[in-house]
Structure formats: C-alpha cells, structure tokens
C-alpha cells in the first residue's frame, strides 16, 4: 500500500511543518485565525497580524480579497468588498506583508482564489508571495485534481500547498487530493461556506479518524469553528483548528478612525487568547 | 484543429476551456450530477418524457419564420427567425429548466435553486417547478429586483421564493455566487438549475444539450423549407445558452457561418460593455475557465448593457473553444443599435423581440446587406420583448 503513504518529497522541513512538529511535542493543538488583507486597510491588517501573534496563535491565514468569492460566507465577502472598494491590489498586500518581521511571526498562509493566481501567473504569484514572507497557500477553488501544476510550483519555491477535504469527499478522491498536498490538510467540518455553527457533526469525527490513519500530514479543522468550546471534542483527532469569520466579524461594523480599530483589536485579542487557551493541554 | 461536436471530454474540457474550479464541497455533487445526467441522456424514457413536455407544454417546435419585410428593408440576403419568443414563458430559457426539473425528479431531490438577472431564467425555473411541485428559491440581485418588477411578480405567483442578493454589485454575478453558496450547504436535497452554459462541468454541456433542440429543429426546418442549410446563423451571446443551443447542431456543417453577437453597450472602455469574447482574456470565474472581463489582479470588472440578459462578465467555455478554433465569429452590437432594431422589427414584422435578441437581429441586418438575395441568414429570436417595454419607453422618451 505504498501509494497511501504521503511524504512531502523534501528533506528540508518548511516553517509550517516545523510549527506543527513543535506543537505536537508540547501536546498542543494549532490555532490558525483568518484575517482579510486590507480590511480596514493594510496598516490595520499589519496591526491585526501583530495583535494575533501576541496572543500566541500558531499560524495566520491571510485572505486575499476577491470580487466573486463562492467559497466564503457573507461575513468574509463583506470584508472583501470593503477592502476592494478601497482599490486594494495584490501588490499592495505583498508590499505591506514584506514590511512585517515575518521571521518572528507565526507562518502566514495566503488564502487566495485561483482566479487571482491564474491572472498573475502561478510562478510569479508564488515567488512574490514567498519574497513577501508567506509560508503556504490555500486555494479554495482549485480542487486537488486540478492542482498538480500548482503543487509543483509551490514546492519548487519551498513552500506548502494546503488542500481541502470535505465531509462529502469520497475516500478514493481523498488519496488523489493528498498527492498535491503539503503542510497540513484543511478538513472542512460542515458542508456550506464559512460561518458559525452550533454543533460539530459526528461524520467529521469519523472522517478525522480515517484520515489520521491514511496520512502523516497534520489535520486542521475549519468551517464551523467559532468558539473555544468547539476545540475540546477535536483533541486527539485533529492537530489544529481554524477560525474563519470569527475575527473578521469584529471589523464588520467598526467606524472610521484609529480608536475604532483599537476597540476591535481589543475584542479580537480577548477572543484569540481564549482560543489559544483552549488549544493547550487540559 | 477544426471544432468538433465531440466536446467536452470527461473532465469537462472544451479544448482547454471549461473544467471545474470550485470548492471541494461541491466536487462530489458535480460528479454525481454528471453520472445522473449521462444516465438520463441514454434513457429513452427520460427523452420521451422530455419530448412530450416540450411538445405539449412548451409549444415546440417553434416556428421557422421568413421575415419578409425586414429582408426587403435590408435589400440583401433572406432573413429568417427561429421563433423562441413563442415558447411558453416567452423565451428559450424554458427548454433548459424543463429538462433540469425532470432531472431533479429523477435524482429524488425536492428543492430547486436558480439565479436570475433579468428574471427570464427565474420565471422559467419557477414555471418548471410549479409544473412538477418542486420547491423553488430564486436568487436575484437587489438592483435587478427593482428593475424587473413584472418577473418578480410572476415568480412569486407561481410559488417561488425570490431572495434578494445585497452583496457585491447586487446583480446577476452576485446572484450566481449566492446560489452556489446555497448549493454548497444544501446539495443533498437540492438541485441547482443554472440558467446558462456557464459554471463547472457538467453544467455547460448539460445546458447546451437541453438548448440544442433550438438548432436541431432549425436545421431540419431549414432543409424542409428551402432544401438546403442556411449560409449564416446568428445569435446573441451573454452567458451564451441560446447561441450554444442554436450553433451546436451546425458545428460540423463547416459551410455554415456561425456568428455570435455580444453586448457592445456604450463602447469599448472597461465597464461600458459586456463583451468578454471581444475584449476579455481567458481566466477563471464561477467555476470554469473561459474568456472573462477581469482586471490585472483577476478581479471581475463591472459590465454594462441595456439588456439585463447579456449583462454578464463571463461566457460559456464552449464559446471560448469555438472562438479560439475559429468556428464561430464573435462580434457585438451596441445599445443604440439594439434599441433601433427593436423598434424597427416591431413596425416591419409586428414582432417585439427581446432587447437581447435585438442585438442578434441588428447584426443580421448588417450581414444581410453584404450578401445576395439568394443567400439565407437565420437569427435566433431568443425571446419576446414585452419585458423590455418600460426600459425602452424610458430610453426613447415615450409615455408608458
């Protein structure tokens, strides 16, 4: 059954791999919050990233605003719309991220539509992202069976391409998807788009147990994770949790001016601290 | 390589176009839909059910009509209309929704969602769902709801729920985004009746197949009436479903010229038109790879057309394939040409064409003038123009 064994194909471990290895040895789960680049503006995003890093998050997912995001719910879409209304460009995102001390920050994972990557060109996009300080990519509208070329480009740059697995993904398909996956596997907790859910489905727990036996890649659960109580049921089954709209919603109705952002950052900091606390061994 | 009818392949590829660029959450549903559709296509009972409904409910075959006074007016080739405006609900959209509603029943699903811009596909979906007792939710941009009150009224009266979409540009493309989101959360009980030859595989193929009844009938009617095939076939292209259905049966008749007419809007500047095949580039939008109007960052550009049905920044992948293989020529007609044609055809033929179809007729008139009287041009008159009267009255300064 060698085809079921997934090595990342490189001897040098990536920052994302190292992060999960360190956490594992401490018995801790990873927490990766999502932020939208450019909402309210890139200076605000720089502050937000620093704030989250200070609360002890382990990775940060940075969403590239896209005009037609079918994989995201209304909270993230409004956030994208706000950023795009201010004429945010991809290169402004790269410029602002490169001003950050990314070596000292948790690894940054770019969440970006394939529409954007294709237009800029996969190689040019990935190299600019690496030079800016990104460590990996989540491309929600590039399913595993279309991702072979992209996987090559990302690995060539020494970074990770994270793949999504849905509760509806058949097992034979999971094996195909994992061939173009490194860093960790993004396990979608519920069908539907990002947003809050009250309960985690039992199907998910079965799927995680199965995946655990199939791959050595870390498993992180997202879509439907919105509060600290969602973390404990996943302990020993998953290696990390991802919060999508939970951070962004704090920016939904902030007014203008630095005080408004500071108030939002305070609330975000409190929430993030509680999530980090929940991922630590009990 | 000359274009062929044997597309797409099993990955949904029309040449390099098409495929599936969607979240993993939808992949399994698309795979199941592809399998179910292939089975239905091979099933004589499904086909005869569909044929029966198209005959007794939709009113097919639609007439093949010689536009004699328009021909005289142009003084060139003979102009014929394929009268999709005479279908039940007044447009070609019903050919697709009846087919997909039958497929919904076959899959044992009870709920249907659809997106609509001008409301024609929404009405056709609500109609098919009423006919089969299916629950129907139609996503429609808040801006379009305001502009298309009549169609919203019709949908609601047929029992459909019209859900306003307030995100983004509040128009058709946002309605597509919202419908796809609904589908991601509801795919086990719900079928998404996409209204054009767009989206991920198998939609572009399936919608083309259901719409191909237009071209198949037309080809036969032309042979019966004239003893030969036409010299040129013309249709308007937004997402491109009436054109795909009209052209597909003629694709391997290489002597028949095929011409698609996009919305030229107010002119060639970005945001002034809806002509991705003329001004756009290949890219990814709404789950497939095709020509699209995007900026240098891959963000979708705003579009404009007097016609709400052509007001879309993308186009079906098969059109991109036909464009790049040279099989179909794509051109455009501007807003003012479409409006003049609408008024002219009303006076000369006693037919009010939809403002979408008026784009195709506007180009047919130009093409006819360059041809001799023994040549034949067929235009797909994809819908009737009643829905457009208020807008035409407003633009031309008439009382309504």
What is residue B108's predicted lDDT score, i.e. its pLDDT?
96
Contact A140 B23 (CB under 8 A): yes
Report the Cα–Cα distance between both ends of chain A, in Å, rounded.
Answer: 37
**How many Cβ atoms from other residues are within 10 Å of residue A246's Cβ?**
21
CA distance B301 to chain A (A): 9
Residues B171-211 have pLDDT tens digits of: 898 999 999 999 988 988 999 999 999 999 999 999 999 99
CB nearest A115 (choices: B28, B29, B284): B284
Share of chain A above pLDDT 70, in %: 92
B253 token code pair? 């008749």
Interatomic CA distance for residues A142 and B206, integer angstroms: 22
Reported as a single tens digit per residue, the pLDDT across A2-12 is 333 344 455 57
Select from A116, A119, A167, A186 the residue whose CB has the most chain B CBs within 10 Å, as the one to mutate to test that interface: A119
Q: What is the pLDDT of residue A253?
A: 74
Contacts of A190 (CB under 8 A, 6+ apart): A167, A197, A200, A201, A204, A223, A224
C-alpha distances in Å from residue B116, one per residue of A74, B174, B175, B200, B374: 19, 10, 7, 17, 40
Q: Does A252 touch chain B (CB under 8 A)?
A: no
User: Do residues A19 and A59 lie in contact, with contact meaning Cβ atoms separated by under 8 Å?
Assistant: yes
For residue B110, the 8-state DSSP code is -
By three-state DSSP, how is residue A110 classified?
A: strand
| CA torsion through residues B175, B180, B184, B186, sign | positive
Rounded mean pLDDT, A142-168? 95
End-to-end Cα spacing for chain B: 52
CA distances from B154 to A203, A245, B88, B387 (A): 41, 37, 13, 12
Query: What distance lies between CA A214 and its chain's CA centroid?
Result: 22
Instruction: Specify the pLDDT at position B378.
Output: 99
Beta strands in chain A (DSSP E): 30-36, 60-63, 108-111, 134-138, 160-165, 185-188, 219-222, 240-243
Which A positions 21-80 lie with beta carbon below 8 A of chain B?
66-71, 73-74, 77-78
Of the pLDDT bands very low, low, confident and very high (cuts 50, 70, 90), residue B84 is very high
For residue B16, the 8-state DSSP code is T
A161 touches chain B (CB under 8 A): no
For the sheet containing B17-18, what is the strand order?
A: B13-14, B17-18, B288-292, B281-285
- Please give the average per-residue pLDDT across B270-291, as a whole number: 97
| Cβ contact B21–A120 (<8 Å) | no
Q: Closest-CA residue in chain B for A170?
A: B28
| pLDDT beyond 90 at B297 | yes
Chain B contact for A172, CB < 8 A? Answer: no
Contact B25 A192 (CB under 8 A): yes
> What pLDDT score does A198 carry?
47
Average pLDDT, chain B: 96
* Residues of chain B positioned with their CB less than 8 A from the CB of A196: none
Q: Which two tokens stand for residue B249?
A: 């049966």
| The pLDDT value given to residue A3 | 37
Mean pLDDT along residues A186-210: 73
Number of Cβ within 10 Å of residue B206's Cβ equals: 23
Q: What is the pTM of this model?
A: 0.95
Which residue in the set B22, B185, B300 is minimally distant from A191, CB to CB?
A: B185
Mean pLDDT of B218-226: 98
Q: Is B325 left (phi over 0), alpha (psi -120 to 50) or beta?
A: alpha
Q: Which of A81, A116, A193 sits opposite B167 (nearest CB)?
A: A81
- Please tell me whether residue B38 adopts helix, strand or coil conformation: helix
| Cβ contact A120–B297 (<8 Å) | yes
Residues written for chain B: 400
Domain segments of chain A: what residues?
A: 15-279
Whether A193 and B296 lie within 8 Å, measured CB to CB: no
Q: Is the pLDDT of residue B90 over 70?
A: yes
Minimal C-alpha gap between B200 and chain A (Å): 11
The pLDDT-based confidence of A17 (bands split at 50, 70, 90) is very high
Q: Across residues A153-162, what is the average pLDDT?
A: 98
pLDDT confidence band for A224 (50 / 70 / 90): confident
What fold does the segment set A15-279 form as a domain?
TIM Barrel (3.20.20)
> What digits encode the pLDDT tens for the residues A235-278?
999 999 999 899 999 988 777 777 889 999 999 999 999 999 99
| Residue B306, pLDDT above cutoff 70 | yes
Q: How far apart are CA A238 and CA A212, in angstroms?
A: 8
Do residues B211 and B44 lie in contact, with contact meaning Cβ atoms separated by under 8 Å? no
Nearest CA in chain A to B290: A115
Q: Above pLDDT 90, what percent of chain B?
A: 91
* pLDDT one-digit tens code per residue, B243-254: 999 999 999 999
Computed over every residue of chain A, the mean pLDDT equals 91
Question: What share of chain B in percent tops pLDDT 70?
Answer: 100
Q: What distances in angstroms separate CA B122 from CA B113, B145, B155, B158, B184, one per listed residue? A: 9, 11, 7, 11, 20
Q: What would the mean pLDDT of B132-145 be, rounded to a whole number?
A: 95
For position B240, what pLDDT does the model report? 98
Model pLDDT for residues A30-78, shown as the tens digit of each residue: 999 999 999 999 999 999 999 999 999 999 999 999 999 988 888 999 9
**Which residues lie closer than 8 Å to B217 by C-beta, 6 or more apart?**
B60, B61, B62, B64, B82
Least confident piece of the model among B184-188, B211-215, B318-322, B346-350: B184-188
Preferred mutation among A85, A115, A129 to probe B, highest tally of B CBs within 10 A: A115
Task: Pick B299's closest partner by Cβ from A67, A143, A166.
Answer: A67
Least CB–CB distance from B177: residue in A70, A84, A166: A70
**Residue A141 pLDDT more than 60?**
yes
Residue B18, token pair as written in the block: 């098409």
CB of A211 less than 8 A from some CB of B:
no
């Amino acid at each position: 059954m060698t085809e079921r064994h997934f090595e990342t194909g490189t001897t040098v471990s990536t920052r994302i791999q190292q992060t999960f290895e360190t956490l594992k040895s401490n018995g801790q789960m990873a927490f990766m919050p999502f932020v939208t680049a450019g909402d309210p503006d890139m200076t605000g995003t720089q502050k937000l990233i620093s704030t989250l890093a200070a609360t002890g998050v382990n990775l940060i997912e940075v969403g590239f605003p896209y005009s037609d995001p079918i994989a995201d719910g209304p909270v993230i879409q409004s956030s994208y719309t706000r950023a795009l209304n201010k004429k945010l460009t991809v290169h402004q995102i790269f410029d602002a991220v490169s001003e950050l001390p990314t070596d000292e920050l948790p690894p940054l994972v770019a969440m970006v539509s394939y529409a954007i990557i294709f237009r800029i060109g996969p190689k040019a996009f990935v190299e600019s992202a690496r030079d800016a300080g990104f460590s990996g990519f989540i491309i929600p509208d590039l399913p595993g069976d279309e991702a072979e070329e992209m996987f090559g480009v990302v690995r060539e740059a020494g970074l990770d391409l994270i793949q999504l697995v849905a509760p509806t993904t058949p097992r034979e398909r999971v094996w195909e998807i994992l061939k173009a996956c490194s860093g960790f596997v993004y396990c979608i907790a519920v069908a539907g788009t990002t947003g809050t859910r009250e309960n985690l489905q039992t199907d998910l727990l079965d799927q995680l147990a199965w995946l655990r036996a199939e791959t050595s890649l870390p498993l992180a659960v997202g879509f439907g994770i919105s509060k600290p109580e969602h973390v404990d049921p996943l302990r020993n089954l998953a290696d990390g949790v991802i919060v999508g709209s939970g951070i962004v919603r704090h920016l939904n109705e902030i007014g203008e001016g630095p005080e408004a952002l500071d108030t939002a950052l305070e609330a975000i900091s409190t929430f993030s601290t509680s999530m980090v606390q929940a991922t630590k061994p009990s | 390589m000359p274009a062929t009818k044997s597309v797409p392949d099993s990955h949904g590829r029309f040449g390099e176009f098409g495929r599936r660029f969607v979240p993993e959450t939808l992949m399994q549903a698309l795979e199941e839909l592809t399998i179910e559709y292939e089975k239905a296509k091979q099933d004589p009972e499904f086909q005869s059910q569909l044929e029966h409904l198209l005959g007794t409910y939709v009113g097919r075959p639609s007439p093949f009509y010689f536009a004699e006074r328009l021909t005289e007016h142009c003084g060139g080739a003979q102009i014929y209309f394929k009268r999709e405006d005479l279908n039940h609900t007044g447009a070609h959209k019903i050919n697709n929704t009846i087919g997909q509603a039958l497929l919904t029943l076959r899959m044992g699903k009870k709920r249907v969602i659809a997106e609509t811009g001008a409301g024609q596909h929404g009405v056709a979906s609500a109609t098919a769902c009423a006919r089969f007792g299916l629950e129907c939710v139609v996503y429609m941009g808040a801006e379009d709801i305001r502009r298309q009150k009549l169609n919203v009224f019709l949908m609601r009266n047929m029992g459909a729920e019209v859900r306003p979409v307030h995100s983004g540009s509040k128009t058709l493309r946002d309605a597509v985004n919202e419908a796809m989101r609904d589908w991601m959360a509801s795919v086990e009980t719900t079928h998404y009746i996409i209204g054009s030859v767009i989206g991920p595989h198998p939609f572009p193929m399936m919608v083309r197949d259901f719409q191909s009844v237009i071209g198949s009938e037309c080809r036969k009617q032309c042979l019966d009436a004239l003893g030969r095939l036409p010299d040129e076939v013309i249709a308007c292209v937004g997402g491109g479903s009436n054109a795909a259905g009209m052209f597909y049966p003629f694709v391997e008749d290489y002597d028949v010229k095929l011409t698609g007419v996009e919305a030229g809007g107010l002119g060639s500047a970005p945001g002034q038109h809806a002509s991705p095949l003329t001004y756009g580039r290949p890219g990814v939008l709404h789950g497939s790879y095709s020509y699209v109007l995007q900026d240098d960052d891959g963000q979708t550009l705003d579009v404009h057309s007097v016609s709400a049905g052509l007001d879309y920044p993308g186009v079906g992948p098969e059109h991109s394939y036909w464009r790049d293989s040279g099989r179909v020529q794509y051109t455009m007609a501007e807003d003012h040409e479409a409006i003049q044609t609408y008024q002219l055809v009303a006076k000369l033929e006693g037919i009010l064409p939809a403002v979408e179809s008026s784009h195709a007729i506007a180009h047919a008139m130009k093409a006819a003038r360059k041809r001799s009287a023994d040549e034949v041009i067929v235009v797909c008159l994809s819908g009737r123009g009643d829905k457009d009267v208020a807008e035409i009255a407003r633009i031309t300064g008439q009382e309504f």
